[in-house]
Structures are given as structure tokens and as C-alpha cells.
Structure 1
């Protein structure tokens, strides 16, 4: 199969030409239909929607191909020079081809010969393929996306209650620099990341195809559950970032909302449900724009949706019941919009209200990493330390691999959060100098920290069982 390059950003080069052509066509049709009641704003809105729909019709088959038999190459640019997009994409294509073998979710940030890459590109993200590595001559297609992240501060949703400010949550405009590389740092045994991306793409594709939702139901809600520290929240933020990058031809704007559950439970009676309604009212207002895609994260949702049956049996205050009912009501209302995705996480799925579980299209368990996944996490940590010149790099690769496998076996059962903290904690226990630290020193320190961590976990488990 011939190699193909699909450059999403280059589509912008032709938008202005199509815009002028579409304006003439639309105005002609409007005059013929004698729609004299339309204002100028109405006409502009129709024009923009028409152009975006035309753009989406062309983008969806390309995205479908990238999801099915290719992979995404995402280029984080310092600036996006419109007159150089095609040339820049060609250099990215050639540079990736030169790598020979690609590691899963590889991040490239060193460019030698390619002058445009050095000038305009921060990082190149290569993925996602589920195998640990793939040869570049086995790549059938390459979907290249050029983008620039935003760096503005998140908007805080604050309400004034009895003279006191309460922050209900935050809103980010995506893609945002704070969410960069989150997706690539996550390692799972099952193809969770591709499953989530395929789900979001399917939801959007069904909407563009005008699928009747009374025939095929879609709630646009995902529930991730599992023990703390296994990457549920990070996965949600990484997914939001990737959706905003890969689906950029389908929407003009992407917003990410994170609900602060703790702030909802007001000390003033009945204010909790009102606070929740305020938060969702703002989301609903934005969703009326069909060219804006909204992603909501409700972290540790069990604090909001504790079973109504449990609340009644334990004499919980009625305010809790109002919050649960309000949450369910707003989730039901959001189903009328096709440009929204609700992400929820929980450490205690057994206490979540069954009505919320039933409303989730996907319910996925995120557990502690396996030995193989732990090895890849440690490997990524060591590569980072070597690239930043903190540990000695001239270490035999096979010997390094064996050492990392042994550490991974000793680390079985620990959360991903603990695994990623371990190199830093171990490094802090080494007598540091201006010279490189030898990997053997770090291996020894990590081994000692693993023993300490497991002893601590055993003590806490015994304490909790008492």
C-alpha cells in the first residue's frame, strides 16, 4: 500500500477560498428562497456551519483510516506558519521515517538536519499502536497533525454565597500545555487508550451520520473505576487533550471542565444542588454552539452520587439526595447535545448510585500495572534521566534491561503513581555530586525504597484490618 500523509492543519490553507465560494453559493440560495427574515448574524452563522460541515465530511474518512490501519503523528509547534505547513509536514514525515523502529508513544524532541523542525517544532508524538515497537517500513499510512497549545490560565467557576466565594470547578481551553505528554506517559496492559479514542470518534461519527438515538442509544458518558493512583484522572485529561488535537477538523473549539466535588457540599442547607446546577448551566449554554466540543470530568464521583438507598438507610441529610437527583437530571439533559463527553472516575464503584452506572456507555476498570507495564514505566523514567544528563548513559542496554525487569518483578502490586515517584525518592537518597550518577547506584536505592514501600503498605493493611 502506498504511503499517505494526511496533514490536518494544511486544510486551513484552503478554508478562505472555500469560505468565499460558500458565501456566494449560500447567499444565492437564500435569495432564491426569499429568506428575508434572516439577519446578518444568522447568515454568518449558517455560513460557518456549512463550511465546517463540508470540512467534517472530508475529515471523517481520513480519521477513520488513521484509526483503522495507520497511526497519528502529532506535532506540537511553537508557531504555525500557514505558508510552510505542507513543507513542515513533509519534513516530519521524512524525519519519522528515518527512525527505523518506533517505540510505543514515542516522543521525539531532537532534530539535527531538519531546519524547519528545529525552528518551529517543540515535540513530535508518535503513536498510538498497541505493540511495544513497530518498524517504520511496516507503516501503511501516517496521519500528521500540526497544532499549537494554549497557555492561558483556566477559568474558575466561582459563586458568591452569603458573602463567601466558592470555586465550583475550572474550565480549560484545549489543547493546553498543562495536559501535554499525559497521554504518552500512561502505560496499560489492555488497549484502553485506543478503546477510549475509538469510542469518542464513534460518538461523533454517528452524530455526523444523523443516527437516530431512539434506535441506537448513546449517553456519551464513561466511568473509570479502580484503586487510587492507577491513572484514572490522568487518563481522562490525556484523552481530552488528544480529542482536541485529533478531532480539530470537526470542531472550532474544545473546552475541558473539571468539577470540584468538595465545593458542592455547602454548609448552607440546600445550596449543594443549586451549586451543581450553576455549574451545569454554564456547560449547557456553551453546548448550544454545535462547533464547540465540551468534555466534563467529575473526579471521585462517589462523593456526589453515593447510593440514594444508602443515604436513606444511614439517615444522610436530604441535601445529599438532592445532589444525586440533580446530577442525574443534568446528565440526562446533556444527552440532547452531540458535542459533549462526560468522564467520571471512582475509587469505590460499589457505593455509586446504580442509576448513574446505568447511564454510562463504557465502564472500565483501571488497576495496578502488570510486571510488563511496570518495566515500561521504569524504562521511560531511566530514559528521561539519561536524556537530562542526571545518570551515566554509557550503560549496556541488555544489562539495563535485566536490572529493570528485576525491579519490575519486585514492584508488582504497586500503583502507577507510586512507581513514577520511586526514581525521584531513590535519587534523593543518593550522595549527589556534579558528576553523573551511575545507574547501579540508582538501582540499589530503588531496591531499598521498594522494600520500605512494601513494609509500609503491609503495616497500613494490617492497621485497616483491625
Structure 2
């Protein structure tokens, strides 16, 4: 292969050419090694590069799960070319290959307790990459650019730290704020981003740590202890950050609870202790963000209540709204592909994607009929939350399937009915509210 082979998230060693332009695109290769494998990473990389050399011309993202190499069959679950979707074929021989080799941690989340025999847990804690978070990134479908922008932000933050950029001259706070209505996948996106970056940075950090704090629980239970328990919680997080081999992600869900507590206190409906708790949280965040191996991820459902003091700390403020018709189409398409794979929908039939439908001008024919029906269902589904959309195929089968295995045509009819039912239920709920 002609491209430089690396195992870092950001190719720090790629230098500009004589004209000052880096002319070889980075292509990221994710290699999922089996948990029982004892193979050295250098040996895995050698066999993966040989595989890529034999299949150097591909169309966009691609994943191998079966191999003609005994070593890969024994040691590797999959080799995936990721984040490479585009209209033109991709030539791996002229690309700069960034190879990320990882295995998944099979342990579930543990709890971070503040004191011995303390029933209240400060947070949930995962070692990354975690088996239970595997595949979430791919399953989340948003408008073009949202996931890439978030990925690039954190990569740049780590890159600037590695280059020792003076943060007094060029400022970044390592804080991400995702806001928008409930059910749009903000929390899942934070978890998926942490998982993805623990893989993408596998050559820079040995493993990832993910700490999920529920700020609503924090303020509803711990007022009486003022900021002391908050300080203890962040001392636990500090212990994780002190391990320079770990990339640490801290998630604060429902960060608007900070404002709710402070506003209530100022209005006289909560004790002044609430202000001390909020200020303690903000102070602790300001302290840990200085470390190069920590990223703070936050979400909010109620935009008008987000604390301005916190908003000022966020480098990225990304709105996550309900899926558009095109995003819904892609969500449904991924669901149907999974059900065909499991033979719940049988026989397998080819469904066209939106680009293919567009090239055919959305004209109905035997080739486009099923895909156009799915497109119609997607347009009817606009306004449903992402959480609901992922349930539609299940509800279609549970409520409207006459047999356990359905054809694509029958399943689409069932989905149509399930969407209509969800819209009717939403209308009835609105009348009762």
C-alpha cells in the first residue's frame, strides 16, 4: 500500500506538500479484534493491510466480516472502512490509511459511589470501547454533517493539546452541548461519540472511560449536603483523569437542571445551598477541562432554561431535532435490512436508497415500487421521535402481522398501519393534555 499506515485518530505526522496542501485524504479503518484473541496488534495490522491491498478500490464505507485469511478469521470480527461515503469510488492505495485496532469490553456499567456503604451513586461508569455500546453510532441517523462535526471537534481538541497550543491564546473548553426536544437521541449520541472516539484514538490512549452523571438526580437528592458531595464526585472523576493512558468522557444529562436549581434558589423556593451546589459543579468543570484527556458532554431538553453560565463554556452547541423525512427513510431502511438479515422479512428484496430513487426521478415502476412505498411511510412519520421510529417495525409485526415471517410488501403495509396508529395516539394525548 502507498498510504502511510497509522493507528491514531488524527494523523499528526501527515505534513503539507511543497504547495502547502495535504493531498492524501485520511481514510479510517476500524479493526474489531475478537475478545479471546492473543494476537499482537502489529501482526493484526500486517494482515489487515494485506487484505486492503487486495481490495483497494471500494465504493464508500465497507465492512468485511468473512475473510480468506486464516489469521483474520481466527482473530478478527470485522474490518470496516468508515466515514467514507461519497459519490466516487475510493482508492485505498492513494489514501492515507488510519488503522484503529480495538476489542470490546464485555463488562457492563459499574457505579461510582461517593462513600463506602453509600446507597446514592454519583454516576454510572463504563470502560470503553464497551460491547453494549457497539453499533449505536451507526444506528443513529441525523442530517448530513452532525456526527462528523462532533467527531472532528473532539479530534481537533486532542490534536491542539498534543501540539501544545497555548489555550490562553487559542481557547477551547472541551465542552459539547446537545440540545433539542426529548426522544431525538441526544444521550445515545453522546455515548456513541465517546465509544467512537475511544476507537478512533486507540493509538493515542490505551482505553476510554465514560462517566454518566444524572444532574436531575444530583439536585433532587443532595441539597442537604451542599457542594461537598459534588466535590467528592469530581474527585472520583479526577482519579480517572489522572490515568494518562485513559481518554475520559463525562456526560451530564439534563444540564438544564443546573439552571432549575439556581433559579429556584434565587426565587426563594429552594435553599441558598442550591446555588452553592451549582457553583461547585461549574467550578469543578472548569478545573477538569484543563486536562488534555477529558471531554465534557452535556444534553438539554429545555433550551430556554439552559444556564447562560454553562452555555458560555460550550465550544459546540448542536441542535438535535426530530428526524426529517429523508432521515426517517434511512432509519426505516436500516430496520428493514436487519429484519431481512434475520429472515423475519423473507425473501430478501432489494430496496433502493434515496440517491437511487432520485436518479429514477421517483417514478413508480416494478423496480421502485417498494422503495416508494417506504418513502411514503417516511413522509407520514415526520414529527415522530427517533425513539418511536425505531419501535415502528416492532409494532408493525406485533400488531398487524398475520404470520411470523412476512414479505417486504406485507411488512410495509403493516408499518403503514403502525405509523397511523402512533399518529392517532399522539393526537389523542394532545387532546387530553
Following superposition, which runs of at least 4 residues in structure 1 exceed 6 angstroms of deviation? 63-68
The structure carrying a bigger helix percent of its residues is 1
Partner residue, 2:13: 61
Equivalent of residue 427 in structure 1, options 379, 391, 397: 397
Rg larger in structure: 1
Q: Does 1:88 align with 2:47?
A: yes
Counterparts of 1:239 and 1:124 in 2: how far apart (Å)?
19
Q: Does 1:402 align with 2:402?
A: no
1:300-330 Cα distance to aligned partner (Å, 9 max, x none): 1112343734541262333332221111111
Q: Does 1:219 align with 2:189?
A: no
Counterparts of 2:414 and 2:74 in 1: how far apart (Å)?
40
1:323-370 Cα distance to aligned partner (Å, 9 max, x none): 211111111111321211000001012112110011111100001111
1:404–1:341 Cα change, 3 Å: same
The question of whether the paired residues in 1 share the 8 Å contact of 2:48 and 2:79 is answered with no
The question of whether the paired residues in 1 share the 8 Å contact of 2:45 and 2:99 is answered with no
Q: How many residues align?
A: 409
Q: Which runs of 5+ in 1 are unaligned?
A: 10-55
Please give the TM-score of this superposition, normalised by the length of structure 2: 0.85
Partner residue, 1:411: 381
Equivalent of residue 102 in structure 1, options 35, 60, 69: 60
Partner residue, 2:33: 77
Partner residue, 1:326: 280
Partner residue, 1:125: 80
1:253–1:67 Cα change, 3 Å: farther
1:96–1:352 Cα change, 3 Å: farther
The question of whether the paired residues in 1 share the 8 Å contact of 2:175 and 2:297 is answered with yes
User: Secondary structure of the equivalent of 1:233?
Assistant: helix
Q: CA RMSD in A?
A: 2.9
The question of whether the paired residues in 1 share the 8 Å contact of 2:340 and 2:348 is answered with no
The question of whether the paired residues in 1 share the 8 Å contact of 2:222 and 2:229 is answered with no
Counterparts of 2:372 and 2:154 in 1: how far apart (Å)?
39
* 1:157 Cα deviation from its structure 2 partner: 1.0
Q: Which moved more, 1:390-399 or 1:347-356?
A: 390-399
The question of whether the paired residues in 1 share the 8 Å contact of 2:340 and 2:346 is answered with yes
1:389–1:118 Cα change, 3 Å: farther
Counterparts of 1:107 and 1:327 in 2: how far apart (Å)?
42
Partner residue, 1:438: 407
Counterparts of 2:179 and 2:27 in 1: how far apart (Å)?
28
The question of whether the paired residues in 2 share the 8 Å contact of 1:297 and 1:344 is answered with yes
Q: Which moved more, 1:453-462 or 1:85-94?
A: 85-94
* 1:137 Cα deviation from its structure 2 partner: 4.1
Counterparts of 1:337 and 1:146 in 2: how far apart (Å)?
25
Counterparts of 2:330 and 2:112 in 1: how far apart (Å)?
38
Partner residue, 1:390: 344
* 1:91 Cα deviation from its structure 2 partner: 4.6
User: Secondary structure of the equivalent of 2:120?
Assistant: strand
Equivalent of residue 160 in structure 2, options 206, 215, 232: 206
Q: Does 1:242 align with 2:242?
A: no
* Aligned pairs for 1:39-58 within 5 A: none
User: Secondary structure of the equivalent of 2:132?
Assistant: helix
Counterparts of 1:318 and 1:68 in 2: how far apart (Å)?
57
Counterparts of 1:357 and 1:67 in 2: how far apart (Å)?
37
* 1:219 Cα deviation from its structure 2 partner: 1.0
User: Secondary structure of the equivalent of 1:265?
Assistant: helix
